[in-house]
Amino acid sequence: MATESVVHTAMTLHDHLPVLQILVPFIAAPLTVFIGSRALAWPISFASSVVSLVIAWLLLMQVIDGDVISYHIGGWAPPLGIEYRVDAANAFVVFLVAAISVVVLPFAKVSVAYEVPLRDHALFYSAYLLCFSGLMGVAITGDAFNVFVFLEISSLSTYVLIAAGAGKDKRALTAAYDYLIMGTIGATFFVIGIGFLYMGTGTLNMADLAQRIAAQGGNRTIEAGFAFILVGIGLKLAFYPLHLWLPNAYTYAPSAVSAFLAATATKVAVYVLLRFCFTVFGPAFGFEVLTLQYVVLPLAVVAMFASSFVAVFQSDFKRMLAYSSIAQIGYMLLGIAFLTETGVTAAIVHLFNHGITKAALFMAVGAYVLRAGDTFYNDIAGLGRKMPWTSAAVVIGGLSLIGVPGTAGFISKWVLVQAAFEKGWWPVALLIVASSLLAVIYVWRVVEVLYLQPAREDSTATEAPLTMLVPIWVAALACIWFGIDTDTTLGAARTAAAGLLNLPGQ
């Protein structure tokens, strides 16, 4: 099924949705620079995010029942032309990215104004839009090389966004530099892997790659390609022990950037891993199964424990969340390593649930930065009473992070443990819950600091402005909503998992 016959006559705007998804923010990005107005940068960004979200929703509704949309860029038919291929898996990810952007941007307006020098605002929003479109592009494209291109677009703009934190703390520069080096190594590995695949098969279109690899079976070139891609994308998704760039990057980036990246960037990378592991290579390959079970699974478990353990001993809320992110990525990788429908469902649903949870928490961090200057535990001590709404949202987000029933995090944990039992790996099930007990400790440290410690005497903190509170609470309520109503998330994740594993759709 390399190509589908597409009638090129009388295409409506509706048919162009897949490309518009990327083009809208992509064109808006230089626009903010050309206009150069600080006042207009934010409205342009927000408007293009809203448009993207609407498009993402329309696309998701088209594919949620298991259909696939194939869009040919410029009318060039694949495998020669670039194909955008929308199915339940990537429509879901694109929707997550767009939704997070729409929620985070209103929050960013105040937060960025406080944390980023005024003269850089137009450039900041331009970089933000590039990153945004890059992340969606990675998800939506059906062409392996195009994945690399979009990955670079998003990565390069991410370096800039992280460095923008230098206005507040100069260490943002070294954090960005670290990430630049590691990210570039990752990208290089990734493109070398794709080179191997091209060498072995002569094609770059993913669907085509999948067919040819299945037809010719594995060989050293393909295996080497898989290894390079795994390591390359592993760096991007902060796969333990390739995670070293992440804590500093999230800690020193402006809060709005941390919120956006934590909720989207690593999630998109997880999606790429899913796409390559299941669509391109197909789990039928022995080398892949072996890699996942003997390399990815143990490392995922180590990530869950080691990073949670480090998170327990942090004294900075923001940094603690960064380490918690690495641990949570471990859960997603674990779900993938199960290689079963339930496991992959767990990975995808956790990708979403963790995205909204971390968005809520990192935005709360931004509110504390704005009001208390920093997020070290002695800075935010006793703020539970001075900033009751922000702190209540932190409690909700924290409960979701732990996986308390009634929150989104519980749903992912449930499905993940269920997958472990289905597979008969009950020790893994015990490890999953044991590591969430570490989450109890690091979350509750913050709760105690917020509510049970006396505030600093010189603290003048007051409740965050409404423009911050509303996005924080939208995300916090989403944590509860998606813990109760799982039709959309779990439904989409199941369809996506079935699609990725080539099972009959439900």
Partner 1 sequence: METNTAILASMIIPALACVGNMVLRRNDNLRDGMTLVAAIATFACVLTVLANEGNGTTAPMVLWTVMPGLDLAFNAEPLGLMFAIIASGLWIVTHLYGIGYMRGNHEKKHARFFACFSFAIASAMGIAFAANMFTLFLFYEALTISTYPLVAHKETPEAVKGARTYLAILIGTSIGLQLVAVIWTFALTGTLDFTKGGILAGHVEGPMVAILLALYAFGIGKAALMPFHRWLPAAMVAPTPVSALLHAVAVVKAGVFTMLKVGVYIFGIDFLAETGASEWLMWLAAFSIVCASVVALTKDNLKARLAYSTVSQLSYITLGMALATSMGALGGGMHIAMHAMGKITLFMCAGSIYVATHKTEISQMTGLGRAMPVTFIAFLIGALSIIGLPPLGGSWSKWLLILGAADTGHWVMIGVLMISSLLNIAYLLPVVAKGFFLKGEGQPQEWAEAQALVWAPPALTAFGCVVLFFFAGDIAAFLAPIAETN
Which of 76, 220, 422, 462 touches partner 1 (CB under 8 A)? 422
Which residues is 259 bridged to in the sheet?
Answer: none
Which of 434, 462, 466, 467 touches partner 1 (CB under 8 A)? 434
Segment contacting partner 1 (CB under 8 A): 65-73, 131-139, 351-359, 415-423? 415-423
Amino acid at 287: F
Residue 402 C-beta: closest distance to partner 1, Å: 7
506 belongs to the binding site for partner 1 (CB under 8 A): no
Residue 392 C-beta: closest distance to partner 1, Å: 11
How many whole angstroms separate alpha carbon 474 and alpha carbon 263?
Answer: 14
490 belongs to the binding site for partner 1 (CB under 8 A): yes
3-state secondary structure of 72: strand
Which residues is 376 bridged to in the sheet?
Answer: 316
- Please, which residues have CB within 8 angstroms of residue 457's CB and are 6 or more apart in sequence? none
405 belongs to the binding site for partner 1 (CB under 8 A): yes
Which of 195, 373, 406, 505 touches partner 1 (CB under 8 A)? 406
302 belongs to the binding site for partner 1 (CB under 8 A): no
425 belongs to the binding site for partner 1 (CB under 8 A): no
DSSP annotation string for 262-293? HHHHHHHHHHHHHIIIIIIS-TT-HHHHHHII
402 belongs to the binding site for partner 1 (CB under 8 A): yes
How many whole angstroms separate alpha carbon 505 and alpha carbon 50?
Answer: 30
429 belongs to the binding site for partner 1 (CB under 8 A): yes
Residue 293 C-beta: closest distance to partner 1, Å: 20
How many whole angstroms separate alpha carbon 59 and alpha carbon 66?
Answer: 12
Give the DSSP H or E segment for 183: helix 171-201
In the range 371-400, which residues lie near partner 1 by CB under 8 A? 399
Q: What region, left, alpha or beta, does residue 66 occupy, with left being phi > 0 and alpha being psi -120 to 50 degrees? A: left
430 belongs to the binding site for partner 1 (CB under 8 A): yes
Place of tokens 């090129």: 8
484 belongs to the binding site for partner 1 (CB under 8 A): yes
Segment contacting partner 1 (CB under 8 A): 57-65, 246-254, 361-369, 420-428? 420-428
Which of 36, 452, 462, 466 touches partner 1 (CB under 8 A)? 452
What the block records as the tokens of 473 is 């609470």
Cis check for the bond before 465: say yes or no (omega within 30 of 0). Answer: no
What the block records as the tokens of 234 is 């592993």
Which of 295, 440, 470, 503 touches partner 1 (CB under 8 A)? 440
3-state secondary structure of 243: coil
Residue 442 C-beta: closest distance to partner 1, Å: 13
Task: Please report, as ranges, the residues that interact with partner 1 according to CB under 8 A.
Answer: 399, 402-406, 411, 413-415, 417-418, 421-422, 426, 429-430, 433-434, 436-437, 440-441, 444, 448, 451-452, 484-486, 490
